[in-house]
Structure 1
Amino acid sequence: MSDYSYNQTKQPLLEHLIELRQRLLYSVIALFIGFLVCFYFAQDLFDFLVNPLAEILQRRGLEQGYRRMIFTDLTEVFFTHIKVAFFFGAFITCPIFLSQVWLFVAPGLYRHEKKAFMPFIIASPVLFFTGAALVYFAIFPLAWEFFLSFETQGMGDNLPIQLEAKVNEYLGLVMKLIFAFGLCFQLPVLMTLLARVGMASSEGMKSKRKYAIVGVFVVAAVFTPPDPLSQISLAVPIILLYEISIWMAYFVEKKRAETEEEVDRELYDE
């Protein structure tokens, strides 16, 4: 290879790497700004996450005594606020990150590829938010009620058993559930992408439906508290999303077949 050809090949690669670095830099700056803003409101955001538990404790009445959350490490609350700020900062800046990904890959895509890729960029954060909303408004109240049912008042010589939740442990559980539900709701995006590249098909997903349903309940048992209502609340939406994925894969295959027929027709006419 001549020096001229080598330089022509090297230069576009360097330009792509420079642009990638720039896009990543924009994303990191946006995340840092979002983190600072959320850190300022970290206590309010943490109160928002604690609210489902606080409402249940208030509803259970004052006869159980003064209720509180505790921390046993001097730095625990500070680092919990950092985690809360990063969690919400990443969530609110996710569209900026996805837009930078789009701006980086879009120039190298054909028009039909851009039309195919854009819905996934939009659908991914929407589905994650839907899963997070489901777990916050539906699962948390059910799960916290289940766990609080193990409290005892104490009779005679028996000591009462009451919840004194640790700040960092509560946040860890909440973040785990939110991420689990958000990621599970990405199923239609994942399966549609696999169908688009030919690694999955609607017929294949139909034939494996019964195995998928079993797998969904296993995942729900792992990621949710051990009460049946929480597990069903996660399993049923995922099964519905699996059915939606089958239909989306079918339409992708139909569109791809029509495109291939059109290309073959044009080649035959020539």
Structure 2
Amino acid sequence: MAKKQKKPMNEMSFMDHLEELRWVLVRSTIATLIAAVGIFFFSDFIFDQVIFAPTQPDFWTYRFFCDLAQQLGVSDICVTEMDFVIQNTDMEGQVTMLIWTCVAGGFIAAFPYILWELWKFISPALYEKERKGAKVFISVSSLLFFMGVLFGYFMIVPMSVNFFATFKVSELVKNEFNIDSYMSMVKTSVIACGLFFELPIIIFFLARLGLVTAELLRKYRKYAIVGVLIVAAVVTPPDVVSQIIVSIPMLIIYEASIFIAAAVVKKKKIAEQNEKLNG
């Protein structure tokens, strides 16, 4: 049986585009589930040595801030104990947690492939020169995502755990966190940071479509700075050094997005001027 040929972009109807998007989602979901099955076989290591590692006082981040504070001569912020317990209160709680943790891990592991599927979907709308940048797009986007995941895991998660573990409205109240709450915080922090680090890529395409400009991003820069500082103040110990370390990468990402939006708009204007001169 002859293989069905894919229609050219300009000949595809709205329903054809929806069908293409549906298959992108189907293939991405399958890739995520395959990766989730692979992660299942390493679940003991992932839970004990990765997910619950930030609950230990000797976690890398706590030791880093402790050494840094001692070198700078600021107030002692060393973590010596974690005065809380993580408990499960639902009959099927641990089974459900295992399944969704594997799925979340599968999404992270399969992210480069998901990017490749998205690239194949949007590439017909790009110029020929831009289509040749597939490897660059996949590499840079994957790198930014994994950098965000690591930032979330080594900075946001342990700082959040330390904050909520030490925060008490009264000494009479003991912290006993539900495992669902802990896992939700870990997954949200890690994946959200990974996606936030994709901001320059998202801005690139939005700027290409004329939906975002550098002027607009500069206009809302002060609100972005306030938002980043609030997040940093919430998840870090009450010292300026920790807040700055957490804030700087996020602010750099935002400033890089402004630079990218400006470059895209400038390139579009030059292309339009060349078309007028040649036309």
1:66-85 to structure 2, matched below 5 A, reads 69-85=86-102
Give me the whole-angstrom Cα distance separating, in 2, the residues matched to 1:37 and 1:54: 26
Residues 131 and 182, structure 1, Cα contact 8 Å, conserved in 2: yes
The structure whose Rg is larger is 1
1:186 aligns with 2:198: yes
Q: Which amino acid aligns with 2:56?
A: A
Equivalent position of 2:235 in the other structure: 225
CA distance, structure 1, for counterparts of residue 126 and residue 258 of structure 2: 26
1:46-85 correspondence to structure 2 within 5 Å: 46-47=47-48, 48-56=50-58, 60=80, 69-85=86-102
Contact 1:71–1:166 (CA<8 Å) still a contact in 2? yes
Tell me how far 1:198 sits from its aligned partner.
2.0
| 1:97 aligned onto 2:128 | no
Assess if the C-alpha contact under 8 Å between 2:200 and 2:256 holds in 1: yes
Sequence identity percentage = 33
> Which structure has more helix as a fraction of its residues?
1
User: Matched residue pairs, number?
Assistant: 247
**1:209 aligned partner:** 221
Q: Does 1:167 align with 2:179?
A: yes
* Amino acid in the other structure paired with 1:202: A
Q: Is the contact made by 2:31 and 2:110 (CA closer than 8 Å) also made in structure 1?
A: yes
Task: Confirm or deny: 8 A CA contact 1:70 1:167 kept in the other structure.
Answer: yes
Q: Which moved more, 1:31-40 or 1:116-125?
A: 116-125
The one of 212, 232, 257 equivalent to 1:200 is: 212
Alignment of 1:83-162 (within 5 A): 83-115=100-132, 119-150=136-167
Matches within 5 A, 1:252-267: 252-267=264-279
By how many angstroms is 1:87 displaced?
0.6
Structure 2: gaps spanning 5 or more residues = 1-10, 60-78
Normalised TM-score (structure 2): 0.72
- What's 2:261 paired with? 249
Contact 1:143 1:227 in 2 (8 A): no
Per the TM alignment, residue 107 of structure 1 is displaced from its structure 2 partner at its CA by 4.2
Q: Is the 8 A contact 2:155 2:246 kept in 1?
A: no
CA deviation vs aligned residue, 1:59-102 (integer Å, no higher than 9, x gap): 7369x8xx864212221111111111001011111222221222
In structure 1, the gaps of 5 or more residues are 1-10, 152-157
Aligned to 1:25: 26
CA distance in 1, matches of 2:262, 2:19: 39
TM-align CA RMSD = 3.6
